[in-house]
């Protein structure tokens, strides 16, 4: 029995491995097509085809793109697919047929490419799925390339989002999220982490906006020079005043918070929940209400600092309670969110809010941005190894619970229920 099981596992491994191998070849070829001038002259046909709504400008150019770009790509994949077979032949010759799965997989791409190049409308509609026009039905996917994900390669940043089917190469290269040219607003901008985030986002090519409760403009030190950052002053409870600004923001980072430490007075309870939970919630909902078009769905994001307090003590009960509440609300909202929402699960970094923190905020900010560029949706930066185990488990089971025992109610991007979906609630007396 064990030998049969081992044989099945080995066979499956070669099948899956050979398919992943040719996908890696395809993505590597795509990257090279943007780096090598000769290849780019062929690849540029692919970029000339589509308008921003993914309709193509010319059927003739579409067909030529298949011959100039897709066909050479498929031939390279086909040739190198035999590398997996050759390796299997020398390692486990009994299963060499399984390693030809990548070759068969590539052959399907080759046949469909020739059909599209020959002008077959059926082949285009059946096989060129990431370029089909129409409204986007979901944000960019995490592990598989959907239309929303690939749209960004054409119209957000053609030096990123290279993957064709699986997003692994983009994750490894840090090209799964382009920050260059993005307008990014950061709350809590006067704080230690806020300033570090602004600095490294600026260095990544983003246009940064500081949202601060302080009246003084936020400045950064860049290469020994002082850089004045566009600063917008606001106060908790006055989130509506930022509504017009949020229309123009691509990524909103909710980083503000308060720590009352050991206090447990009614005023401390109210203040903790108002600042740490409900203020962030209101800003997030206002921002989600700006997600209306395909471009918004593809490029807008919210990053929310919910803290390691979601799963571990912070030696501050009200900080923990308010952050956990925010974390659970975000997990619930993610089920229907019209764009990507990332959580920042951060350990104790040294700041005015936490003067006994042990991590350096500058390094924390660098790691946050690096992980976001690898499309990590739950960004964990901490010295506590248990958090890397406990948080994914907590997030999975809480999300599953919410999915099973709640319903969307036909939510609009802003979270409002449509008139047709409103629920009549009877109050039992």
Give the C-alpha separation, 204 to 189, whole Å. Answer: 17
Burial of 429 (0-12, 13-18, 19+ CB in 10 A): exposed
Active site residue 319: yes
> What own/partner pairs with CB < 8 Å and gap ≥ 24 does 97-102 have?
98/11, 98/12, 98/14, 98/15, 98/18, 99/14, 99/15, 99/17, 99/18, 100/18, 101/14, 101/15, 101/16, 101/18, 101/19, 102/18, 102/19, 102/21, 102/22
Give the C-alpha separation, 342 to 381, whole Å. Answer: 13
As given in the structure block, the two tokens for residue 146 are 């959907």
**Residues 149, 273, 319, 401: which is the catalytic one?**
319
Give the C-alpha separation, 429 to 421, whole Å. Answer: 25
Strand partners, 288: none
Give the C-alpha separation, 145 to 130, whole Å. Answer: 8
Tell me the C-alpha to C-alpha distance, in Å, between residue 197 and each of 160, 233, 276, 315.
21, 18, 19, 25
* CB atoms inside a 10 Å sphere around CB 87: 16
- Torsion, Cα 303 267 262 194, to 10 degrees, reads 30
Burial 44-57 (b: 16+ CB within 10 A, else e): ebbbebbeeebebe
Which is nearest to 65 in space by CA: 52, 53, 74? 74
Give the C-alpha separation, 126 to 122, whole Å. Answer: 6
Q: What is the SS3 string spanning 9-31?
A: HHHHHHHHHHHHHHHHHHHHHHH
Q: Are 189 and 215 in contact (CB under 8 A)?
A: no
3-class state of residue 173 by DSSP: helix
As given in the structure block, the two tokens for residue 99 are 């390693």
Q: Are 132 and 147 in contact (CB under 8 A)?
A: yes
3-class state of residue 84 by DSSP: helix
Report, as residue numbers or ranges, the catalytic residues: 319
């Amino acid at each position: 029995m064990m030998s049969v099981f081992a044989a099945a596992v080995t066979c499956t491994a070669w099948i899956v491995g050979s398919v992943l191998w040719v996908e890696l070849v395809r993505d590597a070829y795509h990257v090279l097509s943007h780096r090598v001038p000769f290849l780019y002259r062929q690849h540029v046909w692919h970029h000339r085809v589509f308008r921003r709504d993914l309709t193509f400008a010319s059927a003739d150019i579409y067909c030529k793109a298949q011959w100039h770009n897709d066909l050479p790509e498929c031939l390279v994949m086909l040739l190198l697919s035999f590398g997996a077979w050759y390796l299997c032949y020398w390692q486990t010759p009994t299963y060499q047929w399984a390693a030809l799965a990548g070759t068969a997989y590539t052959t399907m791409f080759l046949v469909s490419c020739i059909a599209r190049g020959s002008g077959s409308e059926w082949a285009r509609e059946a096989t060129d799925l990431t370029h089909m026009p129409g409204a986007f039905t979901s944000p960019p996917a995490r592990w598989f390339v959907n239309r929303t994900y690939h749209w960004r390669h054409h119209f957000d940043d053609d030096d990123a989002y290279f993957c064709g089917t699986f997003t692994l190469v983009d994750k490894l290269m840090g090209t799964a999220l382009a920050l260059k040219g993005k307008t990014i607003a950061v709350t809590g901008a006067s704080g230690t982490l806020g300033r570090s985030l602004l600095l490294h986002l600026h260095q990544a090519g983003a246009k940064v906006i500081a949202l601060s409760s302080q009246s003084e403009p936020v400045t950064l030190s860049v290469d020994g020079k002082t850089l004045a950052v566009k600063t917008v002053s606001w106060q908790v409870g006055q989130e509506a005043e930022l509504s017009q600004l949020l229309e123009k923001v691509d990524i909103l980072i909710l980083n503000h918070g308060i720590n009352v430490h050991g206090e447990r007075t009614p005023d401390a309870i109210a203040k903790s929940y108002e600042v740490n939970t409900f203020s962030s919630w209101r800003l997030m909902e206002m921002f989600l209400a700006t997600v209306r078009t395909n471009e918004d769905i593809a490029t807008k994001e919210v990053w929310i600092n919910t803290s390691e307090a979601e799963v571990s003590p912070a030696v501050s009960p009200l900080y923990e309670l308010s952050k956990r509440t925010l974390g659970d609300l975000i997990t619930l909202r993610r089920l229907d969110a019209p764009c990507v929402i990332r959580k920042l699960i951060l350990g104790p970094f040294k700041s005015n809010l936490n003067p006994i923190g042990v991590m350096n905020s500058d390094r924390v900010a660098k790691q946050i941005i690096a992980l976001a560029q690898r499309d990590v949706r739950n960004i964990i930066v901490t010295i506590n190894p248990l958090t890397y185990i406990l948080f994914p488990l907590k997030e999975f089971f809480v999300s599953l619970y919410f999915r099973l025992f709640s319903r969307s109610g036909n939510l609009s991007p802003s979270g409002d229920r449509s008139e047709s979906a409103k629920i009549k609630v009877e109050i039992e007396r």
